[in-house]
Amino acid sequence: MSTATPTLCERPVDTWRGMPAAQQPQWPESRALSAATGDLRRSPPLVIASECDLLRQRLAAVARGEAFLLQGGDCAETFDTVTTATIRTKLTILLQMAVVLTYAASMPVVKVGRIAGQYAKPRSKPTETRSGITLPAYRGDGVNGLPFTALARTPDPRRLVRMYQASAITLNLLRALTTGGYADLHKVHAWNQDFVAASPAGKRYETLAGEIDRALAFMNACGVDPRELHRVEFFTSHEGLVLDYEAALTRVDSWTGLPYATSGHLLWIGERTRDLDGAHVEYFSRIRNPIAVKLGPTVTADTALALIDKLDPAREPGRLTFIIRMGADLVREKLPDLVRRVTDSGALITWVCDPMHANTFAAPSGHKTRRLGAVLDEVRGFFEVHRALGTHPGGIHVELTGDDVTECVGGSTEIAFDDLGSRYESACDPRLNRSQSLDLAFLVAEMLRER
């Protein structure tokens, strides 16, 4: 084996250009786009190939039924919230959920944030109208600004460079926290400190943390090295939506000669951009990262099989994840045929449930919201389908935050419609708050244990 240090050379993967690309920003005519992508092409990668390969191996274990995926974070990260407190709180809730799942199900949990790159949004309408004024829709801080002014809503390619910088800053802190001691399993109580008294979910977590303490003391007495639990593996992911950005950060790994998206470990294709003949599927077919595709209730098994042919022709476990977002009312009806046909084809896919995106509705106040009850019910339906077919319900993909926001209704702290206005902070979709996220983790843990 060569002892040379691997480097990531630059060589764009450009076959997608000229193909129909849905949901792309309408950049104003200027040289700003080529200046921004030029900057990005000259910039160091955010992640390297071997990390992506490791995540692919971890997802292969999920596909084989040996592990569970927890993927979560904001619907849309914002530049203003690249702060120590926000990043640490998002990591903390994911660590707490992972502990609940790992302990209750005795199964390794692969931890992936919707973080350090989740700055671009597909929208159902290209414009937004308020009081008779129509402006371009907000498409994420990587594209335009949230304030409802013509200036903010005009797409600005310089934001792509800020997106890279914000991702780098976030990733830097995540790497420090996950390897430097903050994520040490001996800190299970510390992660919960400011939370216990405030919520039933926090109290339930505290009881479990006590059990973990006793298990750790036992392991210590048996001579297990406590340093083994000092760091956690944590990966990043985002929707690979803006192809100018992703292409500019694509690098060829000099060890393997293969191209990798280096903006995050795992990228996914959204429900609105998974056209088989479209630019996104083409671009994703060329990169070597583990990738995912969102599948909503209109997908057919034929389309799913065609996506597998295009995106995972070698049928490599861990390469392709299907993130199912059918809705609580449709998952039991629509998912079985899909899983059956894919399984019969011989493909070993990682199946993940996104119980958020098909359960969104407008509250009487106009806020976009989701009922925790529907979220839990979709997850339950997802597990039921897999149990009936003998396949593995591989994971959950959730929009959440560690802050005590009021964006989704329900949960053990009972957020009602009237509460939504008090702390609605999402720039796009409603997220589960800390207590609702733990409620979900306890439910999933119970279902995993029942298997």
Ligand X SMILES: C=C(OP(=O)(O)O)C(=O)O
Site for ligand X, residues 308 to 327, rule: CB under 6 A: 325
Say whether residue 51 binds Mn ion (CB under 5 A): no
Say whether residue 429 binds ligand E4P (CB under 6 A): yes
Say whether residue 139 binds ligand X (CB under 6 A): no
- Beta bridge partners, 183, equal none
Task: Pick between residue 33 and residue 335 the one whose CB is nearest to ligand X.
Answer: 335
Count H helices, E strands: the chain? 12, 15
On whether 399 is known to bind a ligand per the annotation, the reply is: yes
On whether 17 is known to bind a ligand per the annotation, the reply is: no
Give the distance, in angstroms, between the CA of residue 435 and the centroid of all CA atoms in the same chain: 19
Q: Residues 41, 64, 123, 203: which binds ligand E4P (CB under 6 A)?
A: 123
Residue 412 CB, nearest distance to ligand X (Å)? 25
Torsion angle, alpha carbons of 368, 373, 378, 380, to 10: 160
Instruction: Measure the CA–CA gap between 331 and 84, rounded to whole angstroms.
Output: 38
Angle between helices 434-450 and 200-221 (to 10 degrees): 60
Binding mask 74-113 for ligand E4P (x = CB under 6 A): -x--------------------------------------
Q: Residues 171, 396, 428, 438: which binds ligand E4P (CB under 6 A)?
A: 428
Q: Residues 36, 75, 110, 188: which binds ligand X (CB under 6 A)?
A: 75
Strands 133-136 and 68-73: unpaired
In angstroms and rounded to an integer, the radius of gyration of the C-alpha atoms of the chain is 21
**In the Cβ-directed half-sphere of 323, how many Cα atoms lie within 13 Å?**
27
Measured between alpha carbons, how far is residue 377 from residues 141, 265, 329, 363, 409 in Å? 32, 30, 9, 19, 14
On whether 275 is known to bind a ligand per the annotation, the reply is: no
Look at residue 123 and give the partner it binds from ligand X, ligand E4P, Mn ion, none, a contact being a CB closer than 5 to 8 Å depending on partner kind: ligand E4P
On whether 429 is known to bind a ligand per the annotation, the reply is: yes
Site for Mn ion, residues 425 to 444, rule: CB under 5 A: 429
Say whether residue 122 binds ligand E4P (CB under 6 A): yes
- Please identify which residue in the block is written with the tokens 């707490």: 96
Residue 200 CB, nearest distance to ligand X (Å)? 28
Question: Is-contact 328 355, C-beta < 8 A?
Answer: yes
Say whether residue 75 binds Mn ion (CB under 5 A): yes
Binding site for Mn ion (CB under 5 A): 75, 429
Annotated binding site: 75, 114, 271-272, 294, 325, 357, 399, 429
Site residues for ligand X per CB under 6 A: 75, 122, 239, 270-272, 294, 325, 357, 429
